[in-house]
């Protein structure tokens, strides 16, 4: 009888933050722009340089607010999609050794690729638009050649890693 390795959870998308921290920077830029605008507005001097700065801050804060809203809407949409996938059990699990492993170089400019069973996975730390685990080994990720893994992935769309357990 073959000994099954003891697995531990490395990643579960349900535990990932709904909104990533950089999104909050746009909210901070919005608040700072509005604050600067109102502080400069109090200054009644007819200095045209201050007037330009005042309206540049207002314009920047409006732009930052729209970017914040767009990022927030995208994050909430993704969160809803993830919940739907788990609620409707629209996922599969593959288990086995990592094969055909191609690591991403430390400098980037490539992707990390590997196969488990008949499924091929591709990931890259520099692609924040893809849901799921995207942490390459060269930057501290958990996947290595011949490592025994269990991967949970959605049954439609891009084959993303929504859950990762390793030995």
Instruction: Note whether residue 13 is domain-resident.
Output: no
Q: How many structural domains compose the chain?
A: 2
Task: Give the predicted TM-score (pTM) of the model.
Answer: 0.78
Domain interval for residue 143: 90-166
Q: Is there a single domain that holds both residue 119 and residue 154?
A: yes
pLDDT at residue number 37: 86
pLDDT at residue number 100: 95
Q: Is there a single domain that holds both residue 33 and residue 79?
A: yes
Q: Is there a single domain that holds both residue 162 and residue 105?
A: yes
- Taking alpha carbons only, the member of 33, 152, 9 closest to residue 91 is 152
Distance of CA 68 to the CA centre of its chain: 15
**Residue 151: exposure state from Cβ atoms within 10 A (0-12, 13-18, ≥19):** buried
Supply the CATH number for residue 115's domain: 2.40.50
pLDDT at residue number 44: 63
* Structure-token pair, residue 124: 């890259």
pLDDT tens across the length of the chain (167 residues)? 556 789 999 999 999 888 888 888 998 999 999 998 888 877 765 677 778 888 888 899 999 999 999 999 998 999 999 999 999 999 999 999 999 999 887 776 788 899 999 999 988 776 666 788 988 888 888 999 999 999 999 987 778 899 999 99
Instruction: Note whether residue 74 is domain-resident.
Output: yes
pLDDT at residue number 38: 85
Residue 57 contacts residue 33 (beta carbons within 8 Å)? yes
Q: Which residue has the tokens 């909050």?
A: 24
């Amino acid at each position: 009888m073959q000994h099954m390795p003891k697995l531990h959870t490395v990643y579960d998308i349900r535990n990932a933050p709904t909104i990533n921290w950089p999104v909050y920077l746009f909210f901070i830029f919005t608040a700072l722009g509005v604050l600067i605008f109102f502080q400069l507005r109090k200054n009644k001097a007819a200095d045209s340089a201050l007037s330009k700065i005042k309206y540049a801050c207002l314009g920047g804060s409006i732009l930052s607010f729209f970017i914040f809203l767009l990022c927030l809407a995208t994050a909430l949409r993704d969160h809803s999609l993830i919940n739907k996938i788990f609620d409707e059990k629209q996922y599969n699990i593959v288990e086995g050794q990592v094969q055909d492993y191609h690591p991403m170089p430390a400098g980037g400019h490539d992707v990390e690729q590997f196969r488990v069973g008949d499924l091929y996975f591709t990931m890259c730390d520099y692609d924040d638009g893809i849901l799921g685990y995207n942490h390459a080994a060269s930057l501290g990720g958990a996947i290595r050649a011949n490592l025994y893994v269990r991967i949970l992935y959605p049954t439609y769309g891009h084959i993303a890693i929504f859950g990762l357990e390793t030995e």
